[in-house]
Amino acid sequence: MSTDSNRIESVASIIKESRGIVSLTGAGISTSAGIPDFRSPEEGLWAKDPSKMMLFTDVGFAGNPKGFYEFGREILPGFQNARPTLAHRFLSRLEQEDSFGLKCVITQNIDGLHQKAGSKNVIEMHGGLSTGRCTSRTCPKEFGLEDIIRRVEEGELPPLCPECGAVIRPDIVLFGEELPGGAYQRAVEYLKHCDLLLVMGSSLVVYPVADMPEVAMGHGARLIIINLQPTQYDSRADAAIRLPLDEVAEKLMETLGMAV
Ligand code: OAD
Ligand code: ZN
């Protein structure tokens, strides 16, 4: 048996033994759905063009919303059309089947694919792309993703609020902004009480999320990491698997007796 198969068997055993599982996911779980991640060497958005990251800061967006939406025009339709991957479906099944105790998914992703896959308890650390809002503090107007995409595709760069004329922004967290109210505290409560943290598809470099394995391990949880690139926690993990997530999810589902 290869080392990879051994590791997958061992991950399946740990999952079976665990009663309180929390999963922490990042952009790598959605790459096979056609949504690029940020730091993969060839295809990652920031790896390809580090200057784009500036547009996703509070200051960068405020200073150049047109540039933000020009970039958005290229990537937004991919989000709209994406379907959950096998790995998303695997997590949803771990939550639904009582014999596996998955308590919640903490995600850095804004694509809503966990919810589309049927996961119920999802904590979005960086907000969600399905809705947007007016940037004027005094204007309560909200927008759906379809509306924002339609405006952008019609060349409205940046899209403006029809009520007050201020720029519309997606409900995502930009670098430099606070996390959505209570998300971090809620996530930490789950991390303190879980017995297994299952990290899937994150480089674990963006804080405060990058501290979450530390929090869980500090409270006695085991750690499994499934990620193509190495992470700062691999040497301390109970298992670290560097294979494509869908391949691992498929083998885990087979081993755990779930229909694929
Ligand atoms: P990253 O792009 O930093 O990391 C994604 C990880 O997934 C990489 O280490 C890849 O090797 C791995 N990966 C990609 N495809 C995979 C596959 N099919 N199977 C297994 N692993 C795969 O993405 P995040 O860690 O999510 O924040 O990034 C964290 C935050 O940085 C994002 O939420 C975003 C970004 O800037 C904000 O914009 C605030
Ligand atoms: Zn407005």
Q: Are residues 154 and 220 in the same domain?
A: no
CATH assignment of the domain containing 166: 3.30.1600.10
Domain hosting residue 43, numbered range: 36-81+130-172
pLDDT digits (tens, 9 = 90+) for 96-143: 998 898 999 999 999 999 999 999 999 999 999 999 999 999 999 999
Q: Are residues 194 and 242 in the same domain?
A: yes
Number of domains, the chain: 2
Q: Are residues 112 and 145 in the same domain?
A: no
Helix, strand or coil, per DSSP, at residue 147? helix
pLDDT digits (tens, 9 = 90+) for 3-40: 888 999 999 999 999 999 999 999 999 999 999 999 99
126 belongs to the catalytic site: yes
Mutating to test ligand 1, I would choose from 56, 212, 227 the residue with most ligand atoms within 8 A of its C-beta, which is 227
Q: Are residues 167 and 152 in the same domain?
A: yes
Measured in Å, residue 82 CA sits from the centre of ligand 2 at: 29
Q: Are residues 222 and 101 in the same domain?
A: yes
What is the atom index within ligand 1 of the atom nearest the CA of 244?
19
pLDDT tops 70 at residue 2: no
pLDDT digits (tens, 9 = 90+) for 228-242: 999 999 999 999 999
Q: Please state, in angstroms and rounded to a whole number, the distance separating the CA atoms of residues 84 and 88.
A: 6
Q: Please state, in angstroms and rounded to a whole number, the distance separating the CA atoms of residues 30 and 114.
A: 10
Ligand 1 near 108 CB (within 6 A): yes
Q: Please state, in angstroms and rounded to a whole number, the distance separating the CA atoms of residues 158 and 69.
A: 6
Q: Are residues 232 and 187 in the same domain?
A: yes
Q: Are residues 253 and 199 in the same domain?
A: yes
Q: Is 108 exposed, middle or buried (0-12, 13-18, 19+ CB in 10 A)?
A: buried
Q: Are residues 2 and 101 in the same domain?
A: yes
